[in-house]
Structure 1
C-alpha cells in the first residue's frame, strides 16, 4: 500500500487549510488530499468570507488577494431584527464574497502548489492501526484529517453520532440580481414568523448576489416553506439554481477523539449557531489540525507511493483537542449562549437597537457571528437597556 504522512479527506476550505498547515509546519511531508468530486465544484453556502478567515490563510502562506480577485470586497452590513429594527453600518474590515466554486478551487490549488497531491477518491472504510490509519485497503497515513463536511464519512467511521435535529439548520441558496440599493452591502434580514430563521443577500459582483434562507431542522420545514420564507423576507428576488444543505451547528459539536484521526470544519460540527457561518471555523480548525498532525507524529519522511510508514500519529488527536479549546473554546461557549438567548425575538431587537446606537456594539455583534468574538459586558448592558 501507498504510505503517506498525512491524508486529508475533503478538498474544501478545511481540508485545504489542513494540507497547507502540515506543509507550513513540516516542509517535505507527504500530503494527499482525497475528494469524491472534481474541482471546481459548487457548494451550498452564503459565499461570505470574513476578513479573519483570510488572516488565517495569510498565516499559512496563501496570497489572499489572488484568492478573492475578481470579486468585490463588501464594506457594509445591513441587519434587520425580528421586530423590524434595521441597522446598517460599515464593518470594522470589509468582507469578501466569492462563490465557493471559485474560492475552493483557488485554495485547493494553493495547497497543491505548496506540495500536496490531489486525488479523486470516495473514502468508504478506515481502520486505525499501530502505525496510523489504513484507508480502503489502498493506502496508509500516519495521521488522517477528516474535512469531509456535514455528512462526514470519517466521523461515522469513528462511531461518532451526528447532530440532533435541534442542533441542525437547513439552508436554501441560489443566485439572483442584487437587490436595489445593495451595492457594497451584505443584507441579513429576519422575521418573528418561524423564528429563528433569516434570509440573506450577499453581492458577488457584476450585479449578482448569493441569496438564501435558513432555519432550524427541528422546524420540519418543507422545501416549499423554505422557498416561501425566502420570498417573504426578500420580496421580488428571483433566484436561480436553488439548492439545500444541512448545517451542523457548533452547539452539537462532538468531542475530538484521541488517536491519529482528526476532524475539522463541518465534520466537527463547527458552524456558527447565530449566523450559519462556517468558513472561518473551517480554515481555523483545518490549520489547527495540520499543526496537531505535525506535533502528533508526522516527521516528513514519507514519499507518497511506496513510502514506508513510521511511528503513527497517536498523539495528534489529544493535541488537536487542546489547540481547538485554546483557540475557540471560550468563543464557542459565548456563541452557544448567545444562540440560546436569541430564541427570544425581543432580545434580538434589543441587541440590534444597541448596534444601531453604538458602532462598538455593532462590531462586537459582527465579530461574534462571523469570527471568534465574545459577548462583552458593554454589548450585554446596551442590549438590556434597549429591551422593550
Structure 2
C-alpha cells in the first residue's frame, strides 16, 4: 500500500490550494478527484482579487489570464433601489472549467500526483489514515465539496435548512451596457437574488477556451435562494431568474445546472486529528453573497500547511490558523447575514452605499473578502432605515 504525507480529496480550488501549500512545505502529495479535468462545476464563476492574492502566494501568479477585469458592481435592493460603483479592486469571471483546470495544472507542476478516484471509505488510525484500503496518508485534507465524503466520515451531517442555499447557473450571450457585475435581490422568497457576471474573454482567439458563449465569453447568469423546508423545483428557479433579469432571453441560456451552497453560518468542526476540511466541505460559503472561491483557496492553503507541517495535530493547527485569519470576519459576515434577513435592512444598505462610497467599500469587502462591519457602516444603514421610514 502506498504511503504519502498528505492526501487531498477533491481537486477544486480548495484542494488544489491545499496541494500547493503542502508541496511548498516539502510534503509528498496525492490529489484525488472523481472527475477528469477540465470539468464543469456549477458556480457563479466570480473570482475576487483576494483569491488571486492567496494564489500568488502559492506560486500561481495569473490564473485569470486572458479574461478581462470586471471593474464595477451594480446592486439592486429588494425594494428596487440600486447602487453602482467601482469595486475596491476589480473582479474576474472565469468559468470553473477553465479556472479549476489551471489550478490543478499548477499543483501537478509543483509536484503533486493527480489521480482519478472516487473516495468511499476512510479508516482513521493512530498513525495513518487509510483511503479505500489502497492508499495511506499521514494527514488528509477533505476538499470534496458540499456533499463531502470526508465530512460524513468525521460524523458531520449536511447543513440544515436556512443554512443551505440552492442555485441554478447558466451562460448567456452578453447584452449591451457597462461591464459590471449585476446582483438583483428579490423581495419575494428573500433571502434570494439573481446575478449576471460578464465573462469577458480578451485573450487571443487561438487561445480561447472551449465552451465560452460568444466571442467575448458571454456572461454567467443564475438565481439562488436559501432553503426553508420546502423543495425547490427547476421550474421555480428558472421563473425567478426570468423575473429578476427581464432583459435576459431564457431561450439563449445554456449549460443550466443547479448546486447547493452550504453557508458558513453552520460550520462543522474544522477537523479531527489527522483529518481536516476546507472550502465547501467546511461550509465556507459567504452567507451574505454566496461567494466561496476566496474562502476555498485560503482555507485550502491553511489546511495544506497544517497537514504537511504537523500531520498528527493537523486539526489543532488548522483550527488555530483559521481562527486567526478568518475568525472575526466570519462572525461579522454571520451578523450581516442575520441583519440582512430583513429586506428593509438590505434596502437601507443599498441607500447608504449609494450616498457613501466608504459604506459601499465595506459592504463589498464583507461579501467578497475578509472585511468587517464598522460603526460608520452600521450608522449609515441605521440612518437609511430612518430615512425610509420617514418617507
Scaled by the length of structure 2, the TM-score of the pair is: 0.92
Judge conservation of contact 2:194–2:245 (CA < 8 Å) in 1.
yes
Deviation per residue, 1:295-328 (Å, 9 max, x gap): 31xxxxxxxxxxxxxxxx2211111111111111
| Residue 243 (structure 1) aligns with | 257
Q: Matches of 1:84 and 1:207 in 2, distance apart?
A: 29
Where do 1:113-132 residues align within 5 Å? 113-132=109-128
| Residue 5 (structure 1) aligns with | 5
Tell me how far 1:367 sits from its aligned partner.
0.5
Judge conservation of contact 1:178–1:201 (CA < 8 Å) in 2.
no
| Residue 80 (structure 2) aligns with | 84
| Residue 149 (structure 2) aligns with | 153
- SS for the counterpart of 2:330 is helix
The one of 206, 216, 230 equivalent to 2:226 is 216
Tell me how far 1:258 sits from its aligned partner.
2.7
Greater displacement, 173-182 / 224-233: 173-182
| Residue 308 (structure 1) aligns with | none
| Residue 49 (structure 2) aligns with | 51
- SS for the counterpart of 1:386 is helix
Gaps of 5+ in 2: 201-215
* Misfit runs of 4+, over 4 Å: none
Deviation per residue, 1:175-225 (Å, 9 max, x gap): 00123314x201001121111110000000216000000001215322111
Judge conservation of contact 1:84–1:191 (CA < 8 Å) in 2.
no
**Does 1:266 find its partner at 2:280?**
yes
| Residue 324 (structure 2) aligns with | 326
Q: Matches of 1:104 and 1:45 in 2, distance apart?
A: 12
Where do 1:201-212 residues align within 5 Å? 201-205=196-200, 206=216, 208-212=218-222
| Residue 41 (structure 1) aligns with | 39
Q: Matches of 1:203 and 1:70 in 2, distance apart?
A: 14
User: Cα RMSD (Å) of the superposition?
Assistant: 1.0
Tell me how far 1:56 sits from its aligned partner.
0.5
Q: How many residues align?
A: 367
Judge conservation of contact 1:250–1:269 (CA < 8 Å) in 2.
yes
| Residue 386 (structure 1) aligns with | 384
**Does 1:290 find its partner at 2:288?**
no
Tell me how far 1:130 sits from its aligned partner.
2.0
- SS for the counterpart of 2:5 is strand
- SS for the counterpart of 2:272 is coil
Where do 1:248-259 residues align within 5 Å? 248-259=262-273
Judge conservation of contact 2:143–2:277 (CA < 8 Å) in 1.
yes
Q: Matches of 1:324 and 1:295 in 2, distance apart?
A: 15
Q: Matches of 2:87 and 2:155 in 1, distance apart?
A: 41
Q: Matches of 1:262 and 1:383 in 2, distance apart?
A: 38
Scaled by the length of structure 1, the TM-score of the pair is: 0.93
Q: Matches of 1:386 and 1:2 in 2, distance apart?
A: 61
- SS for the counterpart of 1:194 is coil
- SS for the counterpart of 1:214 is strand
Q: Matches of 2:260 and 2:195 in 1, distance apart?
A: 16
Deviation per residue, 1:46-65 (Å, 9 max, x gap): 0000000100011111122x
Judge conservation of contact 1:7–1:32 (CA < 8 Å) in 2.
yes
Where do 1:222-237 residues align within 5 Å? 222-237=233-248
Judge conservation of contact 2:270–2:278 (CA < 8 Å) in 1.
no
**Does 1:348 find its partner at 2:346?**
yes
Distance change >3 Å, CA 9–CA 207, structure 1 → 2: closer
The one of 170, 183, 194 equivalent to 1:188 is 183
- SS for the counterpart of 1:166 is coil
Q: Matches of 2:112 and 2:217 in 1, distance apart?
A: 36
- SS for the counterpart of 2:364 is helix
Judge conservation of contact 1:169–1:248 (CA < 8 Å) in 2.
yes
Judge conservation of contact 2:154–2:272 (CA < 8 Å) in 1.
no
Tell me how far 1:14 sits from its aligned partner.
0.1
Tell me how far 1:290 sits from its aligned partner.
1.0
Judge conservation of contact 2:164–2:262 (CA < 8 Å) in 1.
yes
